[in-house]
Structure 1
Amino acid sequence: MGHSPTPGRNTGPGITVVGGGLAGLTAAITAAEAGARVTLHEAHHTLGGRARTAEGPYALNDGPHALYRRGPHWDWLRQRGLLGPLANPPLHEAARFRFHHGGALRRIPPAGLFALARRSAEQAPVDVDFLTWATERAGPATARAAAHYVAVALFHHDPGALSAAFVQERLRRAAALPPEARYPVGGWGRLSERMAGHAWNLGVRIEASSRVDTLPGGPVVVATSLDAARRLLKDDGLRWPSGRTVLIDLALRTRRGDPFVVSDLDAPGWLERFTAQDPSLAPAGEQLVQGQIPIGPDAPRAEGLARAEHLLDLGFPGWRDRTVWRREALANGRTGAVDPPGTTWRDRPRIDRGGSGVFLAGDQVAAPGVLSEVAFTSGITAASLALKSLAGVPVGDS
């Protein structure tokens, strides 16, 4: 459904945004705030992209989602009143954080893991893999455990093989104390709804169920997945590695003593009971557990599901008999960019597509940040460059 812009507002030259996820909404808001006339096209019937929250009794996100409060998007959202109510990690549940290590479920991780996490990313080299660098500083066992722990911020089957600087930045933030993570109450869909409402109030024309197959004239921000951007722009060079992750969602009848988190340190994997911090995500008497198990590019989905079920057996006794609802999915290339050794975010596909008036935004392009922060940062940059293009100013991102 399409919405006309507010009469009398933003009636100047136009910018088109293709994609209504976090990157597209950020780009649309940034451009509209500068006075541009903005039209946003979204192929799905609802906005939000991978930040959508399922409708129905279980408010499920498409994989684990959290806002890191020290990220650049935090202030951007706060300044516009878009953060909304947020849930903190439940401190009273801290004792229910479990680590799968050495084949058993444990209450504490290896002693050196959090000491390693305190090192700054600047101390880690770009051109060496994380496992090699971390092994020299903490020993092989702790290095492997740390690589597997940080998979929650990578969604990748072999974090140790990635750039040390890239992984260390994510390890430091994922293991920060007090935790950086905050959770939009009611699911991430509430955040994208607030952003969409703000865009509407700024005069953005929103066209849902509107698939764009041919680029319109004027500056265009392509804020889709990299695969979709490659097809739309007919540019086979738009490629960058991402993760492949099995997702499992369960609604379980409540049982006292269930853990808040099970972190797999023997292999990449993570289970989280999201109703611990936000009970509104499931009906009373039920709890929502979500897991992500990264698997290799050729591994069958069944391998990830078997590992998830093994973690559930250890951490959630009787979970099979308590399951009232279950969903499984495979997230392939939808988990954000990962940087191999010798590369940084600057080596990813450029936002400015070479003076053509086309600009990329999303979580796999050349912008800094962790997880969704890349989408926000690239959306702001793409919109700023599109505004310059609209004004006839030569552009170029760095």
Structure 2
Amino acid sequence: MTTQPRITVIGAGLAGLTAAITAAESGARVTVYESHRTAGGRARTSEGPYRTNEGPHALYNGGPHWTWLAQRDLIGPLAPLPPREAARLRLHRGGTLRRTPPLAMLRLLRRRPEQAPVDSDFLTWATGEAGEAGARAAANYAAVALYHHDPGSLSAAFVHERLRRAAKLPPEAHYVRGGWSGMAERMVAHAWNLGVRIETAARVDTLPETGGPVVVATSLDAARRLLDDDTLRWDSGRTALVDLAVRTRKGDVFAVSDLDAPGWIERFTAQDPTLAPAGEQLVQGQFPLAPDQSKADGVARAERLLDLGFPGWRERTTWRRDSVATGRTGAVDRPGTTWRDRPRIDRGNGVFLAGDQVAAPGLLSEVSFNSGIEAATLALRAARVGGPGRVDLNLA
């Protein structure tokens, strides 16, 4: 008689829930420990009349993440962006809002992924392809999927892939109606139906002695402390976040991308009116901060863009929240590195790592998903279990 394997998952964010579901689908007994009172990690959506997401706001349909969620009916209702709203995207350049990007930036978008080198920084490579002005504009546009204050200093291959996916037509980005918490709740329910035990408000300070593999699906900082492993470090971003609700006014833009410096503002009620009360619009912006910049610096940049895209926004504001996200925006790869150089998933001795800053491919939340799949697969292998649930992500 084969003993049912036991796998422990620490952290119930997207990575942890993905790992738990994958392991349970292969017949393992899975227990998840989550330090917060609710599961979801950064996929939580705030309660109340203004439903803001703490983590990423869009799902991209260009990879296995989307397929895996769809196969399990976990995505839920989507909020499509009306074409009339999509036409209201504006690009800030030279102090004014424009409707079209510079031609040099369009030339870069036509470059194939394999043309962008890993070893060069994006600004140097893109300047050679399209000139410095176009290169800087493209780098700043790509910041919507990077959350980094200097995208041009990162690996050309890394930035170019994100630029192409962020600017792709038709768009890869899709929005979950009602915020990300609904998708997280569906993942939790699916895990429960598979027999996964989820213990919330259960902080773990030392690795549990369960007799089976452990998947650590926390932030890289938390994993470093838990595993007492100082090598668990990788670059991420530091970003000022501005959330506000304004009374509806005809003529407001859908989104503003700053091509002069990294920054993005979007009116999320354009695609999902349920995020704010009737007659109000929920606007959210992210403005990456350099190490010597403060939250006030990022907020000031946001307010300058709001003045252009949302005239009279100060008098119309009904709610506002400013914050800073530090090291919570996913991995960024420097020149000469790829995702394969990040902290490895297999930590040895039956411990496996999952999250958005580890050695797995993908864009934003896709890294958490891919690492959760691989961590669970390796944990099952360590427990000498085969069976369904394996997804070939070509991680070797």
Alignment TM-score, normalising by the size of structure 1: 0.95
Residue 179 of structure 1: which of 159, 162, 171 is its match? 171
Distance 1:11 1:373 in 2: 33
C-alpha displacement at 1:195, in angstroms?
A: 0.5
- Out of 302, 307, 317, which is 1:308 matched to? 302
Say yes or no: does 1:266 pair with 2:256.
Answer: no
- 2: CA distance, partners of 1:71 / 1:153: 15
Alpha-carbon distance in 2 for matches of 1:156, 1:227: 18
1:281 maps to a residue whose letter is L
Aligned to 1:272, the other structure's residue is in SS state strand
Matches within 5 A, 1:184-203: 184-203=176-195
Aligned-residue sequence identity (percent) comes to 73
Aligned to 2:362: 369
Counterpart pick for 1:60 among 40, 52, 55:
52
Alignment of 1:157-168 (within 5 A): 157-168=149-160
In the alignment, which residue of structure 2 is the partner of 1:138? 130
Local SS of the residue matching 2:320:
strand
Measure the CA separation in 2 of the matches of 1:118 and 1:179.
Answer: 16
One-letter amino acid matched to 1:115: R
CA distance in 2, matches of 1:231, 1:108: 47
Deviations 1:31-57 (A, max 9, x none): 000000000011011111111100111
Pick closer, same or farther for the CA change 1:269–1:63 going to 2, 3 Å: farther
2:46 and 2:291 map into 1 onto residues whose CA distance is 27
Find the counterpart in structure 1 of residue 390 from structure 2: none
Shift of the alpha carbon at 1:63? Answer: 4.9
The reply to whether residue 244 of structure 1 matches residue 238 of structure 2 is yes
Match of 2:275 in 1: 281
Tell me, yes or no, if structure 1 residue 219 matches structure 2 residue 213: yes
Match of 2:318 in 1: 324
Q: Contact 1:121 / 1:166 at 8 angstroms: preserved in 2?
A: no
Look up the match of 2:73. 81
CA deviations on 1:236-255 (whole Å, 9 max, x unpaired) are: 11000000000000010000
Map Cα deviations across residues 342-366 of structure 1 (whole Å, 9 max, x no partner): 0000000000003x10000000000
2:118 alignment partner AA = V
Return 94-103 or 377-386, whichever deviates more: 94-103
Q: 378, 381, 388: which one pairs with 1:385?
A: 378
How much has 1:14 moved relative to structure 2?
Answer: 0.9
State the AA in 1 paired with 2:321. R
Task: Give the corresponding residue for 1:103.
Answer: 95
SS at match of 1:112: helix
Secondary structure at the aligned position of 1:267 is classed as coil
CA contact (8 A) 1:63 1:292 kept: no
The DSSP-based 3-state class of the residue aligned with 2:147 is coil
The offset of 1:11, in angstroms, is: 8.3
C-alpha separation in 1, matches of 2:72 and 2:207: 30
Aligned to 1:6: none
Select 2:22's aligned residue among 23, 26, 30.
30
Match of 2:391 in 1: none
Q: How many residues align?
A: 385
Task: For residue 17 of structure 1, give the secondary structure of its aligned residue in structure 2.
Answer: strand
Unpaired runs of 5+ in structure 1?
Answer: 1-9
* CA distance in 2 between partners of 1:392 and 1:106 (Å): 56
The equivalent residue for 1:5 is: none
Contact 2:43/2:55, CA 8 A, preserved across alignment: no
Q: Helix, strand or coil: the match of 1:60?
A: coil
Moved more, 10-19 or 283-292: 10-19
Alignment partners' CA distance in 1, 2:90 and 2:182:
29
Calculate the aligned-residue CA RMSD, in Å: 1.4
Partner deviation per Cα, 1:318-356 (whole Å, 9 max, x = no partner): 0000000001110000000000000000000000003x1
Unaligned residue ranges in structure 2 (runs of 5+): 387-394
Tell me the TM-score normalized by structure 2: 0.95
